[in-house]
Amino acid sequence: MFVDSHCHLDFPDLAAREDAVLAAMAANRVGHALCVSVKLEDFPRVLALAERHANLFASVGVHPDNDDVEEPDDARLGTLADHPKVVAIGETGLDYHWQKDAPEWQRARFRTHIRAARACGKPLIIHTRSAAADTLRLMREEDAAGAGGVMHCFTETREVAEAALDLGFYISFSGIVTFRNAAELKAVAQYVPLDRLLIETDAPYLAPVPHRGKTNEPAWVVHVAEEIARLRNEPLEHIAAATTENFFRLFRHARRS
Ligand SMILES: [Zn+2]
Ligand SMILES: [Zn+2]
């Protein structure tokens, strides 16, 4: 069985076909998926998915790309995270690709999430884009290692992976690892220790080969696992078993259904 460690099933394209998305997961042996929040306004819909389906889990957080949304404080995140199906804080982090002026509010929001995660004992889902140095610096300054978590949709260098691993973090690969032009990332996927590796879709984005360009969905996480198995010269079943075990070790509040 496989786990999609990061998807957005509340987004319109996927929410409109909820039953079909769940059926395709089952048909492809994708046993569980983590539905990740990007803003508090949408959190009730993310949580409702996890409440409707035993094999879905939720996180709570505000994505660094979202300005003009409710700004969370630690107490609010802690209150919302106090639910048995909320297994993580995030997604949070820094994104200087879309916010090119690297605004201070992104760093303040990231610090808030790290503190909330430490306080409530739930791990972090960290998004980082064009901001690796600041992401790692804030993780160290706020003791993100005390909460643990995952660097999701990893696209950084081996050195950044090494620094995150040193902080006790897991590394999650998305469909990007299946892209022909991702040579450096493929090398990182060979390097990360098997017991720190996760797989994800980030659906509806980033559909893996051979579905590139379509609306992604959790069933297709299998293609990410296949590529990692090929790169590491390991049987697919080893990658499936290890990434599933890693998921439930990291997100220890998630119950297998
Ligand atoms: Zn992200
Ligand atoms: Zn995401």
Q: Position 45: which residue type?
A: R
The pLDDT, as a whole number, for residue 99 is 87
Counting ligands in written order, which one lies closest to the CA of residue 10? Answer: 2
Residues 6+ apart with CB under 8 A from 147: 89, 114, 117, 118, 121, 122, 123, 124
Distance 5 CA to ligand 2 centre (A): 10
Distance 190 CA to ligand 1 centre (A): 22
The pLDDT, as a whole number, for residue 172 is 98
Distance 216 CA to ligand 1 centre (A): 14
Per-residue pLDDT tens digits of the chain, which is 257 residues long:
999 999 999 999 999 999 999 999 999 999 999 999 999 999 999 999 999 999 999 999 999 999 999 999 999 999 999 999 999 999 999 999 988 899 999 999 999 999 999 999 999 999 999 999 999 999 999 999 999 999 999 999 999 999 999 999 999 999 999 999 999 999 999 999 999 999 999 999 999 999 999 999 999 999 999 999 999 999 999 999 999 999 999 999 999 98
Distance 95 CA to ligand 1 centre (A): 9
How do 56-60 and 86-95 pair as beta strands? parallel
Counting ligands in written order, which one lies closest to the CA of residue 129? Answer: 1
Q: Which two tokens stand for residue 123?
A: 């791990």
Any idea which residue has 């610090």 for tokens? 111
Residues 6+ apart with CB under 8 A from 174: 6, 152, 153, 154, 199, 200, 201, 202, 206, 208, 224
Distance 7 CA to ligand 2 centre (A): 6
Separation between Cα atoms, residue 200 and residue 164, nearest integer Å: 18
Distance 50 CA to ligand 1 centre (A): 19
Counting ligands in written order, which one lies closest to the CA of residue 135? Answer: 1
Give the environment of ion ligand 2: residues with CB less than 5 A: 202
The backbone region for 32, taken as left when phi is positive above 0, alpha when psi lies in -120 to 50, beta otherwise, is beta
Distance 203 CA to ligand 1 centre (A): 10
Give the environment of ion ligand 1: residues with CB less than 5 A: 91, 127
